[in-house]
C-alpha cells in the first residue's frame, strides 16, 4: 500500500506542531522518520492514525484521499500502529488481545487463534495464542502488537520508537521482521531517534525538526550527518573525557539483596564499589533490577540483606532524607514522575529536596529572595531555557526539565552522584550538556553511578560497566569491552574470554 | 406521599422537601397539553394575594428541620395554618428550616415580610422564638410543643397526649390475643415518650381492672427508656424494629415518630399472612383516613389536635383576642383524643366503647390521673 | 475497538512524552479543585440560569399563564419574568441590600450582616477541605470533625467558668484540637495502613454523630439537666462570640478572616506548606526529595480537622448559643466541600466562595419568606455549581469558551 501525506499542518493554539509536511512511503519500503523529541513525529503519526485532525493537508492511500475520524477508521483502511507503550491487556491471552475491538472481523476467538497461529508461523514468531500476555517477555509482547496490526491486513505499519524496551539482540530480530514485512509489500514507517538503527534498516530517511521536514537522506549517510540534520548544527556524539583520576571517596555496596512486595529478589546479591573520579555505568535491558538498585541506594526501598556505605558511613536502612543529607545527589529515571513536580515553578523545583533550614528556609518561612537568586544563577549556569524561574516546570521541554533536576542535585555539596537514565527522551543538544555535567562531576572527585539502557551512552560515559540481568550483576567490565559482548551479557551470560577481565576490574 | 429514605451521607437532608424537578416536568407537560386554553377575561390585579376580608392579620409559620411534609407535627400544624387562613381569607406565609441553626433567621425573615402571627413548630425553636419575641414585641408568636417561654406576645400550644394514648393503650390491651403489645419511638424526647407513657399506663390500667397480664414491649415507664429507631426517617431500621417486635409476639404496635409508621405498616402487611390479628395504632392524626393504603391495619389512632389549635389561634388573632395563655390540648377540650375503631370494633369487646367513654370522663373529671414526666406542667 | 479509541481520543493534547502515571482518583480530585477562576465564575452563572428555569417552571402563575400560551403569550413571559426576577431580587435583598428597609443603620446593614454571619463557619470549614486537598486528600469528614469540635467547645463553654475573651478562646481552641484529633486519626490510619480517607471519614462521621447524640441524651455529658430534650445547656455568657448590638454578625467572621490569612501564609510562604503542596501534586517526587509523605498526610488531615473543629466551635459560640443539638454542623461539613471546590482551594478563592454561599443562605431565607420559593432551590443552585465545576466542558460549551484554552 502506498501512503502519501500532502501538506499536513497541525496546530495547537499558536504552536505549529506540523508545518505543511509532505511524505511519501512506497509499498515495500522502510521509511525512517528521524527527529528529536518534540520535533513533531508523533503528532504526524497521530494525524495519520485519526487521533488528531489536521488543519490542512490530506492523506492518500494508494492515490485515494482518505479522512480518518478515529483510529478505528484508520485501522479499517489498513493502517496499523505498533506503539512505544504496548496497548495490551496483561491478563488476556494473546488471541484475546488480538481479538479485542475486532470481534466480528476476526470471527470470534477461534478466528483470532487461527490468525495468530498463521501469522506467527509466517514470520517464525513461535507465539502460543493461548498464552497470557503478562507471562511473555517484552520482545514477545511487541510481536503480539505486530500480529495485532497485521491481523487487520495492515498495508501501512507504523512503528513508534519500538526499540526503547528491547535488548540489542531483540532489536536486531525486530529489524529482521521489519525487513521481512517490507519484502512482502508492506509500507513501513519507522519512528526513532537512534541513528544506528536508522542506518541499519532504512530504505529512505526523512528528518523532521521543529515541525518541518528539514531534509532526506540515504541509509548510507553518516551518523554525524544525520545528527546535525536533526539538531540543526554539528554536534559531537562522543563524550570527551580524560583518564579517571581516582580519589579516596568511595561507595561500597556489599551483597545487597532487595525483595519486591511478593518476595521476589529484584536485586540479587549485588556487590560493587565506585571510587571518586570514576563513572560506573550500570547497563542492562530495562527492568532487570537497575531501578530497584538505585532506589535502595537512596533509601526508598529497604534492603533485605547487605550493606551500603559511603566513605565509611553506613547508609543501609537510612531514610531518604538522611541519605540525601549524607551528600547523595540523585537524578531519578522518570523525571516527570519522580524528579519534578510538574505544576511547581522552576524555582520551586530547585528547592524540592532542600525544604528545611538553610539556605532556602528561615525558621518556618521560605526565604524567597535567596531561593530565587539561586534559581536565577542555576538557570544561567545550566542554560535552562524557560521564560522565567517562575514558569511551571511542565512548560519546559524534557531537556530543560532535566537541567533543572541536575541544577538542583548538583547544586549542593555531594559525596556521591547517582543518575538514572539521565538522557532518556532528551534531544541531542541536551544529551551533550548532561554528559558534560556528569563528566565534570566525576572530574571533581565524586563517585558517579549512571544507569542507562542506551548502549551508546554507557560506552561513552563509563570508566567501568556493570551489566545487570534479573537483579544480579553479570559482570563488571572495562569501558572498551566489545558491544557484541555487552549485548550477550545483557542477556545474562558472561562470555568466557571476559571472565578474567571482569574479575580484574571488580578487584 | 414521599417517603423519607436517607440518601447518601452527602445529602444535607434526607429528602428534598419539594421535588422541584419532578414538579417542573409535570407542570411543563400539563402546560403543553393545556397551552391552547383561552385567556382569562379579566386582566386586573387579582394576583395570588387573596382577598381582603377586613383583617390585616398575616399568619406565618416556621417548620423545624423536619419540613412541612414530615407526615407529623409540622405537616399537621401547616394544615391548621392553611385551614385557618382560608377560613378568614388570609394569605399565610411559611418558611421551612433546613437545619437547627437557622431558626432565628427564618423567623426574622417572616417578621420582615410583615407577619403578625408567627407559629414556631417544635420545641427546638424555643430559644430562637424567645429571642425574636423579645426583639419584635409587636409581633405575636405561638410555639408548638413548648411551654418554657413566658412573654406577653408568645402563646404556647402544648398537648397532653398521654391522656389519649392511655385510652389507646387500654384498647390495645383489650384487643391483644398474645398478651403482648409494643411501642417504640423515633427518638427519646418528651414529645415522643409522652405517647409511650400514656400507652403503657393504659395497658397497665387494663391489667389491673381485668386481672390480665398484657405486657408492653419497647418502653419502660420507670426507667424512661426503651426502643428507638434513632431518627424520624422511614428507613430499613424502622422496619426491622417492627419485625423484631412482631417476632417477639406483639400483635399491637404503636410506633411514635411521624413517618416511621410506614415501614412498620409494610412489615405488618407482610406478616399478616402468619398472624391476621396483627394491628397498629397510629399517632398524631387518624391514619385510617390519611394513610388509606394501610387503613385495614389501624386499630385506632391517638390524635393530637395540632391543626385545630393552630386554626383556633388564628381565629383568636383575627378577632383581636390573641393572648399568652398556654393552650393545653386535653381530652376535655378535644385538643387530644382517639379516633374511631372502624372495622376493628367487631374484634373488640362489646363494652369497649362504653369503657373508653367511662375512662375519658374519669380523666376529664380528674378521678383518673394519667401521669407522664413529659406531660405539660401547666 | 471502541474502547481503545475512546481512551485515546479523549486526550486532545499536544504530544508530550510519557504521561506521568497518577492514580485516577487523585487526578480527578486535582482537576476538580484546580479549575480556573473563570470556570468558577461561569459555573455560578450557569447554575443561576438553571435556577431561573426551575423557578419559572415551578411557579404556579407561570403554569397558569402557560395554559393559554397561544391565546396570549405575553402573559407567560410576564409571569416568568416576575417569578424569576422576584426570586433573585429577594435573594439579593436578603443577602446584600434591601432598599425597602432603610429605617436605621442596623436595618440597612442587616442583610450583609446576616451574610457574614453565615459565611464565617463556611469559610473556616471550607479551608478544612482545602488544606486536605492540597495534599491530595478528600476530607469529607467535615461533619464528624465539626460535631466533635462543637461538642468539646460547647462543653468547655457551658461547664468551665473562665474570664471573658479567654473563655471563648479556650473553647474554640479546644474545639479545634478535638477536630484535629478526629481528622488526624484518619491521616494516621491512611499513612500507616493505606486505608482510604474517604471511607474512614464517612465512618467517623457516623461515629461522631451518634456519639454526640448519645452525649446529648446523657445529663452527665452534654444534655441540659433542666429538661428532657436532647439539647445542650446554653453557653455561658463569657464563651459567646458577641456581636455589636442589633447586628447578627459576630466576631466569628474576624476569626474566619484570620484563618484565611493563616492558611495563605501556610500554603504560600511556609516550608511545611511547601511540602504539603509537593506531596499533593506529586507524592513520588516528594518522597524522592526526602519528604515524609506519611507525616504530611497525617498533619494535613489533622489541620483539616482543626479547621473543621474550629468551625464547629464557632457554631456553638456564635451561631447557636442557646444550646445545640446533634445537627449543630448544619450541613456545613458537606457544604464546605462545595466552598473549597468553588474556591479552588486557594485562600482568597475559598474566602470569596464562603461569602457567596453565606449570601445564598442569607438571601435564601428572604427568598423563601417573600416569594415562597423553597429553600431547596438554594441547595439546587449549589448542587449545579458543583456539577458545572465537575464538568468544565459543559460550561465551556454553554459559554462558547475557547476549547483549546488551558489554565
- Stretch 138-157 of chain C: residues touching chain B, C-beta under 8 Å: 140, 143
Tell me, what's the pLDDT at A381? 92
The number of angstroms, rounded, from the C-alpha of B6 to the middle of its chain's C-alpha atoms is 21
- Kindly report which listed range (A42-51, C118-127, C195-204, C313-322) carries the lowest average pLDDT score: A42-51
* Entry pTM: 0.81
- The arrangement of strands across the sheet holding A313-314 comes to A265-275, A250-259, A305-310, A313-314
Q: Write the CB contacts of B184 (distance below 8 Å, at least 6 apart in sequence).
A: B196, B218, B219, B226, B227, B228, B229, B241, B245, B254, B255, B256
Q: Is C285 on the interface with A (CB under 8 A)?
A: yes
DSSP, residue by residue, B148-190: ----TTEEEEEE-HHHHHHHHHHHHHHH-SSSEEEEEESSS-H
Taking chain A (507 residues) in runs of 10, the rounded mean pLDDT of each run is 91 84 92 83 87 89 88 88 84 92 86 91 87 86 88 89 78 89 92 83 90 87 82 73 86 94 89 94 89 94 94 93 95 87 94 91 94 95 90 86 94 94 82 92 94 88 93 92 87 83 56
- Stretch 251-310 of chain C: residues touching chain B, C-beta under 8 Å: none
Is B20 within 8 Å of C377 (Cβ atoms)? yes
Tell me, what's the pLDDT at C136? 93
Tell me, what's the pLDDT at A501? 64
The number of angstroms, rounded, from the C-alpha of A98 to the middle of its chain's C-alpha atoms is 26
Among B12, B95, B188, the residue with its CB nearest the CB of C365 is B95
Q: Do chains C and B touch (3 or more CB pairs under 8 A)?
A: yes
Q: Write the CB contacts of B102 (distance below 8 Å, at least 6 apart in sequence).
A: C330, C361, C365
Is A326 within 8 Å of A310 (Cβ atoms)? yes
Is B214 within 8 Å of B176 (Cβ atoms)? yes
Please give the angle made by the CA atoms of B193, B194 and B198, to the nearest 5 degrees.
115
Q: Can you give the residue ranges of every domain in chain B?
A: 41-159+307-329, 161-304+335-365
Query: Torsion over CA of A183, A185, A191 and A192, rounded to 10 degrees?
Result: 0
Q: Are strands B180-185 and B154-159 parallel, antiparallel or unpaired?
A: unpaired
State yes or no: pLDDT of C29 exceeds 80: no
- Region of B251 please: left (phi>0), alpha (psi -120 to 50) or beta: alpha
Q: Is A507 on the interface with C (CB under 8 A)?
A: no
d(CA C69, CA C66): 5
Tell me, what's the pLDDT at B93? 93
B·C CB contacts under 8 A: 149
Contact C9 A337 (CB under 8 A): no
d(CA A386, CA A331): 20
Q: Is A92 on the interface with C (CB under 8 A)?
A: no
Q: What's the number of CA atoms in the CB half-sphere (13 Å) around residue B343?
A: 9
Contact B230 C54 (CB under 8 A): no
Q: Which residue of C has its CA nearest to B10?
A: C334
State yes or no: pLDDT of C204 exceeds 50: yes
Q: Are strands A472-478 and A464-469 parallel, antiparallel or unpaired?
A: antiparallel
A·C CB contacts under 8 A: 120
Tell me, what's the pLDDT at B7? 35
Contact C322 B28 (CB under 8 A): no
As a CATH number, domain A3-231 is 3.40.50.300
* Mutation to test the C interface, candidates B7, B27, B81, B231, most C Cβ within 10 Å: B27
By CB atoms closer than 10 A (0-12, 13-18, 19+), residue C23 is exposed
Q: Is C192 on the interface with B (CB under 8 A)?
A: no
**ipTM for the predicted complex:** 0.82
DSSP, residue by residue, A266-297: EEEEEEEEEETT-EEEEE-STTSSHHHHHHHH
Q: Is A375 on the interface with C (CB under 8 A)?
A: no
Alpha helix (H) ranges present in A425-498?
428-443, 455-461, 483-490
Element (H, E) at C159: helix C142-159
Q: What is the 3-state secondary structure (H, E, C) of B257-294?
A: CHHHHHHHHHHHHHHCCCCCCCEEEEEECCHHHHCHHH
Helix, coil or strand: residue A23: strand
Angle, helices C332-342 vs C105-134, to 10°: value is: 80
- Region of B177 please: left (phi>0), alpha (psi -120 to 50) or beta: alpha
Q: How far is A239 from chain C (nearest CA, A)?
A: 25
Task: Tell me which chain B residues have a C-beta less than 8 angstroms from the C-beta of C338.
Answer: none
Q: Is C384 on the interface with B (CB under 8 A)?
A: no
Q: Write the CB contacts of B86 (distance below 8 Å, at least 6 apart in sequence).
A: none
Tell me, what's the pLDDT at B41? 63
d(CA C135, CA C152): 27
Tell me, what's the pLDDT at B42? 55
From the list B98, B91, B97, B99, the residue with the least C-alpha distance to B117 is B91
Q: Is A87 on the interface with C (CB under 8 A)?
A: yes
By CB atoms closer than 10 A (0-12, 13-18, 19+), residue C405 is exposed
* Placement of cell 529497604 in the chain: A302
d(CA C223, CA C151): 11
Q: Are strands B140-144 and B180-185 parallel, antiparallel or unpaired?
A: unpaired
Task: Tell me which chain B residues have a C-beta less than 8 angstroms from the C-beta of C203.
Answer: none
d(CA C27, CA C57): 38
Q: How far is C118 from chain A (nearest CA, A)?
A: 33
Q: Is C17 on the interface with A (CB under 8 A)?
A: yes
Q: Is A11 on the interface with C (CB under 8 A)?
A: no
Tell me, what's the pLDDT at A105? 84
Superfamily in which the B161-304+335-365 domain is placed by CATH: Response regulator (3.40.50.2300)
The chains in contact with chain A, meaning 3 or more Cβ pairs closer than 8 Å, are C
Task: Tell me which chain C residues have a C-beta less than 8 angstroms from the C-beta of B139.
Answer: none
The 10s digit of each residue's pLDDT in C169-194 is: 999 999 999 999 999 999 999 999 99
Superfamily in which the A247-327+413-506 domain is placed by CATH: P-loop containing nucleotide triphosphate hydrolases (3.40.50.300)
- pLDDT digit of tens for each residue in chain B (378 aa)? 333 333 333 333 333 444 444 444 444 455 455 566 677 665 444 444 444 456 789 999 999 888 888 777 899 999 999 999 999 999 999 999 888 888 999 999 999 899 999 999 998 899 999 999 999 999 999 999 998 899 999 999 999 999 999 999 999 999 999 999 999 998 888 899 999 999 999 999 999 999 999 999 999 999 988 999 878 888 888 899 999 999 999 999 999 988 899 999 999 999 998 899 999 999 999 999 888 899 999 999 999 999 999 999 999 999 999 999 999 999 999 999 999 999 999 999 999 999 999 999 999 999 999 989 888 875
Across all residues in chain C, what is the average pLDDT? 87
Buried b (16+ CB within 10 A) or exposed e, C95-121: beebeeeeeeeeeebbbbbbbbbbbbb
Among A319, A341, A356, the residue with its CB nearest the CB of C285 is A341
Task: Tell me which chain B residues have a C-beta less than 8 angstroms from the C-beta of C330.
Answer: 98-102
Please give the angle made by the CA atoms of B323, B325 and B328, to the nearest 5 degrees.
130
Contact C322 B27 (CB under 8 A): no
Tell me, what's the pLDDT at A279? 95
State yes or no: pLDDT of C13 exceeds 90: no
Longest CA span, chain B: 73
The correct answer on CATH 3.30.67.10 for the domain covering B41-159+307-329 is no
Record the cell numbers describing residue B36, joined without a space.
391552547
Q: Write the CB contacts of C388 (distance below 8 Å, at least 6 apart in sequence).
A: C42, C43, C46, C47, C394, C395
The 10s digit of each residue's pLDDT in C358-395 is: 999 999 888 988 888 887 888 888 888 888 887 777 77
Q: What's the number of CA atoms in the CB half-sphere (13 Å) around residue C156?
A: 28
* Mutation to test the C interface, candidates A77, A261, A318, A337, most C Cβ within 10 Å: A337
Q: How far is B362 from chain C (nearest CA, A)?
A: 29
Q: How far is C160 from chain B (nearest CA, A)?
A: 22
The number of angstroms, rounded, from the C-alpha of A134 to the middle of its chain's C-alpha atoms is 21
- Stretch 18-37 of chain C: residues touching chain A, C-beta under 8 Å: 18, 20-21
Task: Tell me which chain A residues have a C-beta less than 8 angstroms from the C-beta of C275.
Answer: 355
Task: Tell me which chain B residues have a C-beta less than 8 angstroms from the C-beta of C63.
Answer: 27, 30-31
Q: How far is A12 from chain C (nearest CA, A)?
A: 6
Is B242 within 8 Å of B253 (Cβ atoms)? yes
Among A51, A353, A365, the residue with its CB nearest the CB of C289 is A353
Q: Is A330 on the interface with C (CB under 8 A)?
A: yes
Among B28, B65, B373, the residue with its CB nearest the CB of C327 is B65
Alpha helix (H) ranges present in A286-397?
290-297, 320-325, 346-350, 368-381
d(CA C79, CA C82): 5
- Stretch 290-329 of chain C: residues touching chain A, C-beta under 8 Å: 290-292
Helix, coil or strand: residue A224: helix
From the list B264, B263, B259, B258, the residue with the least C-alpha distance to B278 is B264
The chains in contact with chain B, meaning 3 or more Cβ pairs closer than 8 Å, are C
Please give the angle made by the CA atoms of C25, C28 and C33, to the nearest 5 degrees.
125
Is C276 within 8 Å of C135 (Cβ atoms)? yes
Strand ranges in A35-143 using DSSP code E only, listed in sequence order = 56-61, 64-66, 79-82
From the list C131, C93, C129, C98, the residue with the least C-alpha distance to C263 is C131
Q: Can you give the residue ranges of every domain in chain A?
A: 3-231, 247-327+413-506
Among B101, B110, B373, the residue with its CB nearest the CB of C320 is B101
* Mutation to test the B interface, candidates C86, C219, C314, C376, most B Cβ within 10 Å: C376
- Stretch 46-105 of chain C: residues touching chain B, C-beta under 8 Å: 53-54, 57-58, 60-61, 63, 66-72, 75, 94, 101
Q: Which residue of B has its CA nearest to C377?
A: B20
Domains for chain C: give ranges and CATH numbers: 106-372 (1.10.3470)
Q: Do chains B and A touch (3 or more CB pairs under 8 A)?
A: no
Record the cell numbers describing residue A269, joined without a space.
546479591
Tell me, what's the pLDDT at A505? 55
Amino acid at each position: 500500500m502506498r501512503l502519501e501525506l500532502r501538506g499536513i499542518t497541525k496546530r495547537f493554539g499558536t504552536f505549529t506542531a506540523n508545518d505543511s509536511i509532505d511524505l511519501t512511503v512506497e509499498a515495500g519500503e522502510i521509511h525512517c522518520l528521524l527527529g528529536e523529541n518534540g520535533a513533531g513525529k508523533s503528532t504526524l503519526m497521530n494525524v495519520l492514525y485519526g487521533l488528531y485532525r489536521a488543519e490542512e493537508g490530506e492523506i492518500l492511500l494508494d492515490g485515494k484521499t482518505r479522512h480518518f475520524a478515529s483510529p478505528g477508521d484508520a485501522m479499517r483502511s489498513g493502517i496499523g500502529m505498533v506503539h512505544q507503550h504496548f496497548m495490551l491487556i496483561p491478563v488476556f491471552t494473546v488471541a484475546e488481545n488480538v481479538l479485542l475491538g475486532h470481534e466480528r472481523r476476526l470471527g470470534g476467538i477461534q478466528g483470532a487463534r487461527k490468525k495468530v497461529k498463521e501469522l506467527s508461523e509466517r514470520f517464525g514468531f513461535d507465539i502460543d495464542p493461548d498464552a497470557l500476555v503478562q507471562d511473555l517477555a517484552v520482545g514477545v509482547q511487541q510481536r503480539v502488537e505486530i500480529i495485532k496490526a497485521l491481523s487487520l491486513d495492515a498495508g501501512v505499519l507504523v512503528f513508534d520508537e519500538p526499540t526503547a524496551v528491547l535488548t540489542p539482540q531483540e532489536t536486531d530480530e525486530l529489524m529482521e521482521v521489519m525487513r521481512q514485512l517490507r519484502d512482502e509489500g508492506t509500507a513501513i514507517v519507522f519512528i526513532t531517534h537512534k541513528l544506528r538503527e536508522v542506518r541499519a534498516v532504512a530504505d529512505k530517511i526523512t528528518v523532521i525538526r521543529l515541525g518541518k521536514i528539514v531534509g532526506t537522506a540515504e541509509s548510507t549517510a553518516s551518523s554525524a550527518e544525520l545528527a546535525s540534520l536533526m539538531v540543526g548544527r554539528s554536534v559531537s556524539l562522543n563524550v570527551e573525557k580524560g583518564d579517571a583520576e581516582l580519589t579516596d571517596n568511595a561507595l561500597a555496596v556489599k551483597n545487597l539483596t532487595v525483595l519486591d512486595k511478593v518476595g521476589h529478589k529484584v536485586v540479587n546479591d549485588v556487590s560493587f564499589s565506585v571510587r571518586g573520579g570514576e563513572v560506573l555505568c550500570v547497563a542492562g535491558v530495562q527492568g532487570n533490577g537497575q531501578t530497584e538498585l538505585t532506589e535502595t541506594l537512596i533509601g526508598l526501598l529497604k534492603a533485605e540483606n547487605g550493606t551500603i556505605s559511603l566513605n565509611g558511613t553506613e547508609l543501609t536502612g537510612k531514610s531518604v532524607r538522611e541519605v540525601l543529607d549524607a551528600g547523595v545527589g540523585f537524578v531519578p529515571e522518570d523525571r516527570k514522575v519522580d524528579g519534578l513536580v510538574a505544576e511547581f515553578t522552576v524555582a520551586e523545583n530547585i528547592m524540592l529536596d532542600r525544604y528545611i533550614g538553610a539556605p532556602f528556609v528561615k525558621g518556618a518561612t521560605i526565604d524567597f529572595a535567596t531561593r530565587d537568586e539561586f534559581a536565577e544563577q542555576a538557570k544561567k549556569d545550566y542554560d535552562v531555557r524557560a521564560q522565567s524561574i517562575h514558569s511551571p516546570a511542565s512548560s519546559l521541554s524534557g531537556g530543560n526539565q532535566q537541567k533543572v533536576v541536575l541544577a538542583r542535585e548538583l547544586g549542593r555539596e555531594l559525596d556521591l552522584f547517582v543518575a538514572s537514565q539521565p538522557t532518556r527522551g532528551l534531544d541531542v543538544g541536551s544529551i551533550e550538556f548532561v554528559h558534560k555535567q556528569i563528566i565534570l562531576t566525576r572530574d571533581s572527585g565524586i563517585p558517579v553511578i549512571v544507569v542507562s539502557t542506551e548502549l551508546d551512552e554507557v560506552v561513552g560515559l563509563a570508566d567501568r560497566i556493570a551489566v545487570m540481568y534479573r537483579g544480579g550483576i553479570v559482570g563488571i567490565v572495562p569501558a572498551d569491552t566489545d558491544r557484541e559482548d555487552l549485548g550477550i551479557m545483557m542477556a545474562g551470560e558472561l562470555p568466557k574470554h571476559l571472565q578474567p577481565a571482569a574479575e580484574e576490574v571488580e578487584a | 406521599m414521599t417517603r423519607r429514605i436517607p440518601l447518601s451521607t452527602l445529602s444535607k437532608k434526607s429528602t428534598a422537601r419539594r421535588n422541584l424537578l419532578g414538579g417542573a416536568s409535570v407542570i411543563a407537560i400539563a402546560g403543553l397539553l393545556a397551552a391552547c386554553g383561552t385567556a382569562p377575561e379579566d386582566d386586573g390585579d387579582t394576583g395570588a394575594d387573596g382577598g381582603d376580608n377586613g383583617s390585616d392579620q398575616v399568619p406565618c409559620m416556621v417548620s423545624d428541620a423536619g419540613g412541612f411534609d414530615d407526615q407529623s407535627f409540622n405537616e399537621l400544624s401547616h394544615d391548621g395554618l392553611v385551614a385557618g387562613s382560608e377560613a378568614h381569607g388570609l394569605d399565610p406565609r411559611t418558611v421551612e428550616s433546613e437545619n437547627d441553626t437557622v431558626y432565628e433567621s427564618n423567623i426574622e425573615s417572616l417578621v420582615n415580610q410583615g407577619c403578625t402571627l408567627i407559629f414556631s413548630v417544635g420545641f427546638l425553636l424555643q430559644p430562637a422564638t424567645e429571642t425574636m419575641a423579645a426583639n419584635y414585641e409587636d409581633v405575636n408568636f405561638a410555639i408548638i410543643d413548648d411551654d418554657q417561654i413566658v412573654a406577653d406576645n408568645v402563646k404556647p400550644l402544648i398537648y397532653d397526649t398521654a391522656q389519649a394514648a392511655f385510652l389507646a393503650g387500654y384498647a390495645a390491651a383489650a384487643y391483644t390475643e398474645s398478651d403482648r403489645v409494643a411501642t417504640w419511638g423515633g427518638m427519646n424526647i418528651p414529645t415522643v415518650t409522652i405517647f409511650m407513657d400514656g400507652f403503657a399506663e393504659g395497658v397497665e390500667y387494663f391489667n389491673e381492672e381485668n386481672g390480665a397480664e398484657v405486657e408492653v414491649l419497647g418502653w419502660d415507664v420507670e426507667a424512661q427508656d426503651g426502643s428507638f429507631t434513632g431518627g424520624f426517617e422511614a428507613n430499613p431500621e424502622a422496619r426491622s424494629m417492627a419485625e423484631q417486635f412482631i417476632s417477639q409476639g406483639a400483635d399491637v404496635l404503636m410506633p411514635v415518630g411521624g413517618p416511621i409508621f410506614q415501614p412498620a405498616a409494610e412489615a405488618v402487611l407482610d406478616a399478616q399472612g402468619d398472624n391476621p390479628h396483627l394491628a397498629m395504632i397510629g399517632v398524631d392524626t387518624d391514619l385510617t383516613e390519611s394513610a388509606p393504603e394501610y387503613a385495614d391495619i389501624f386499630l385506632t389512632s391517638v390524635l393530637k389536635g395540632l391543626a385545630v389549635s393552630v386554626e383556633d389561634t388564628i381565629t383568636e388573632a383575627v378577632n383581636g383576642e390573641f393572648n399568652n395563655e398556654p393552650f393545653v390540648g386535653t381530652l376535655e377540650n378535644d385538643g387530644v383524643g382517639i379516633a374511631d375503631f372502624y372495622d376493628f370494633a367487631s374484634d373488640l369487646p362489646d363494652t369497649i366503647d362504653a369503657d373508653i367513654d367511662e375512662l375519658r370522663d374519669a380523666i376529664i373529671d380528674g378521678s383518673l390521673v394519667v401521669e407522664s414526666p413529659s406531660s405539660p406542667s401547666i | 475497538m471502541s474502547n481503545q479509541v475512546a481512551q485515546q481520543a479523549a486526550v486532545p493534547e499536544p504530544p508530550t512524552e510519557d504521561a506521568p502515571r497518577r492514580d485516577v482518583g487523585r487526578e480527578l480530585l486535582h482537576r476538580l479543585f484546580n479549575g480556573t477562576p473563570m470556570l468558577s465564575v461561569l459555573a455560578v452563572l450557569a447554575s443561576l440560569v438553571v435556577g431561573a428555569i426551575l423557578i419559572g417552571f415551578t411557579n404556579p402563575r407561570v403554569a397558569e399563564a402557560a395554559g393559554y400560551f397561544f391565546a396570549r403569550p405575553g402573559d407567560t413571559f410576564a409571569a416568568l419574568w416576575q417569578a424569576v426576577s422576584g426570586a433573585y431580587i429577594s435573594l439579593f435583598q436578603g443577602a446584600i441590600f434591601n432598599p425597602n428597609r432603610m429605617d436605621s443603620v442596623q436595618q440597612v446593614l442587616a442583610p450583609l450582616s446576616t451574610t457574614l454571619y453565615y459565611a464565617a463557619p463556611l469559610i473556616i470549614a471550607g479551608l478544612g477541605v482545602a488544606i486536605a486537598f492540597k495534599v491530595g486528600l478528600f476530607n469529607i469528614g467535615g461533619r464528624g470533625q465539626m460535631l466533635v469540635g462543637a461538642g468539646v467547645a460547647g462543653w468547655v463553654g457551658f461547664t468551665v467558668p473562665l474570664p471573658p475573651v479567654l473563655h471563648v478562646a479556650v473553647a474554640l481552641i479546644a474545639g479545634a484540637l478535638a477536630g484535629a484529633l478526629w481528622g488526624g486519626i484518619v491521616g494516621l490510619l491512611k499513612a500507616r495502613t493505606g486505608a482510604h480517607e474517604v471511607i474512614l471519614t464517612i465512618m467517623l462521621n457516623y461515629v461522631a454523630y451518634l456519639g454526640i447524640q448519645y452525649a446529648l441524651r446523657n445529663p452527665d455529658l452534654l444534655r441540659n439537666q433542666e429538661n428532657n430534650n436532647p439539647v445542650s445547656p446554653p453557653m455561658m455568657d463569657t464563651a459567646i462570640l458577641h456581636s455589636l448590638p442589633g447586628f447578627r454578625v459576630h466576631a466569628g467572621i474576624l476569626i474566619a478572616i484570620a484563618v484565611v490569612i493563616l492558611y495563605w501564609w501556610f500554603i504560600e510562604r511556609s516550608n511545611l506548606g511547601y511540602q504539603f503542596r509537593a506531596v499533593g501534586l506529586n507524592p513520588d517526587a516528594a518522597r524522592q526529595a526526602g519528604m515524609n509523605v506519611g507525616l504530611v498526610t497525617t498533619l494535613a488531615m489533622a489541620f483539616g480537622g482543626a479547621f473543621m473543629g474550629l468551625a464547629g466551635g464557632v457554631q456553638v459560640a456564635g451561631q447557636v448559643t442557646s444550646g445545640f443539638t446533634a445537627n449543630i454542623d448544619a450541613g456545613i461539613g458537606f457544604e464546605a466541600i462545595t466552598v473549597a471546590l468553588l474556591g479552588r482551594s486557594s485562600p482568597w478563592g475559598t474566602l470569596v466562595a464562603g461569602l457567596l454561599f453565606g449570601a445564598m443562605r442569607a438571601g435564601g431565607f428572604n427568598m423563601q419568606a417573600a416569594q415562597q420559593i423553597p429553600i431547596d432551590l438554594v441547595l439546587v443552585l449549589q448542587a449545579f455549581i458543583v456539577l458545572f465545576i465537575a464538568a468544565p466542558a459543559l460550561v465551556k460549551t454553554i459559554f462558547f469558551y475557547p476549547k483549546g484554552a488551558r489554565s
